[in-house]
Chain A
Amino acid sequence: MIWGLITAVANKPPGKAQLLFAAFLELVVVAQSLIAGFRLVTGFRPAELATTIGYLIGIVIMIPVAWLWANSERTRFSGVVLAVAALAVLGMTLRLLELWTPPLLR
């Protein structure tokens, strides 16, 4: 839900609102990874442990890297760069949810 909005916002030319939104997204993602990391430490085991950890780290670094890349040449394309990164975060989050959910549906 939140994730869908991100790409829509990010497709506009980069402005303050978008950068703030990216920062907000990063906060959400960091919170998500911290909570998930805590659950892992306390003994929860998702379907694929190594893959899950990879995704948890991946989603955290995605936005900052895209931010740097978008800011080192600020054109209308930098907004798309952020959108692409947000889309990747979305994809990885969906995969995480899939791994995290007990295999009832599979």
Chain B
Amino acid sequence: MSQPAPRPTNTGPGRILVAVYGIFALAACARAGVQLATRFSEAPVAYLLSALAGVVYLVATLTLGRGGRTSWRVALVAIVIEAVGVLAVGTASLVDPAAFPRATVWSAYGIGYGFVPLVLPFLGLAWLISTRPR
């Protein structure tokens, strides 16, 4: 924080990103909570993945929203996990639909959420690169 960063992650367009991440954190966490609480046995893998997605979104929301050097690093890790997650789960859910009897946020690259989950991590990475602290 002491050194002048090019731009904190929580200003300008970054605020939109934080808002979108916040909504997805809420959506994924709430969804996972309901699923895990009411019918965990139906599709444990899918529901745990929903929960993981929720946590990743939550971490990204908080770190992008806080700004600062450590937050930037944590946000980077979270968003990379998110990118890998959406690509891996998206591909797996298409190649082997039987393994995902219930949808997650990341199924079919986030088709249930207008493909926002697919686009979001790359917007996030682009934003982090342009706000890299140094």
Contact = CB atoms under 8 A, between A and B. Distances in A.
Given A77-B15, A85-B19, 5 more contacts: A50-B37, A69-B15, A75-B12, A80-B16, A88-B23
Interface in B13-47: 13, 15-16, 18-20, 22-23, 26-27, 30-31, 34, 37-38
A84 interface: yes
Contacts of A54: 30, 34
| Chain A, interface residues (CB within 8 Å), range | 20 to 34
Interface of B: 11-13, 15-16, 18-20, 22-23, 26-27, 30-31, 34, 37-38, 113
Contacts, number: 41
A46 to B, nearest CB: 13
Task: Tell me the dominant secondary structure on chain A's binding face.
Answer: helix
A75 B12 CA distance: 7
The 8 closest A-B pairs by CB, nearest first: A81-B19, A88-B23, A50-B34, A54-B30, A80-B16, A84-B19, A77-B15, A51-B34
